[in-house]
Amino acid sequence: MAKPQATTLPAWLLTGVLALAATTPAQAQSADQAKGESFVETFDKLDTGRWYISDGWSNGDHQNCTWSSKQAKVEDGRLKLGFAKQDYKQRSHVCGEVQTRQRFGYGVYEVRMKAVAGSGLNTGFFTYIGPVDKQPHDEIDFEVLGKDPARVQVNQYVDGESVGSAKLAEVSGGADKDFHDYAFVWEKDRIAWYVDGALVEEETDPARVPSHASKIFLSLWGSDTLKSWMGAFEDPGGPVAAEVDRVAYTAPGEPCQFPESIACKLKQDAQ
């Protein structure tokens, strides 16, 4: 997740710091050694063999909700990540997150999702690895800040440092109004971010490209304190949920997996 401009939080607090250390190998693993295979997830069910559901902790004092497994569920072929007012584990709200059990390396990452509007809320799709896995903090982000759901923020971290542009890219019609496609291509010396098939940002400096195999995360959370970045928190007034229709990973050299995939478009453009 992108670091707020006026805040210096410890990198290990930012994402997934208490997540399943016991179920993930602790050895260092570079992105070109990752074992994660290509997949398309359409959420006919919530496959707990693929997805770990975060439950019972928060990522730090900046987060005003506790991850709850009850806020991650599949309905009508979509993953719904909720945010609701409820006292749980010293927080006044509960929120939803899932993460892959496997780590993935270079390739094409895609999600089709509808984000949540609301100042102080954040809907995210990103890759992350960090100290809980005894590795440096590497990360590649898409984040919709609910204070301005007409745009999505893209960014990346290398060894705990935010080295990206934290660019805000337009989302036609609004990220909260309908489903949109977000994708990034992660290569050894390049990252390219796409929104609805259009290139919105590119990083070509190899020193600014993550190099460690990472897990895939989907989340919705809130903050009372990160006002300069996420806006002053406004309680939604009732339960809300981000919706995810599809998630996919395509390994380098593998065929594109569905017609709408950015991997198909890039292959066609290269011919």
**Cβ-based neighbour number of residue 40 at 10 Å:** 13
What is the C-alpha to C-alpha distance for residues 11 and 62, in angstroms, rounded to an integer?
A: 12
Instruction: Point out the residues that are catalytic.
Output: 139, 143
Ordered DSSP codes for 162-206: E-S--EEEE-TT-TTTS-EEEEEEEETTEEEEEETTEEEEEE--G
What is the C-alpha to C-alpha distance for residues 208 and 271, in angstroms, rounded to an integer?
A: 29
Identify whether the C-beta of residue 53 lies closer than 8 Å to the C-beta of residue 66.
no
Residue whose entry in the numeric block shows the structure tokens 């390994």 = 251
Q: Please count the CA atoms within 13 angstroms of the CA of 256 that sit on its side-chain side.
A: 13
Strand pairing report for 91-100 and 65-67: parallel
Left, alpha or beta for 140 (phi > 0: left; psi -120 to 50: alpha)? beta
Q: Letter for the amino acid at 25?
A: P
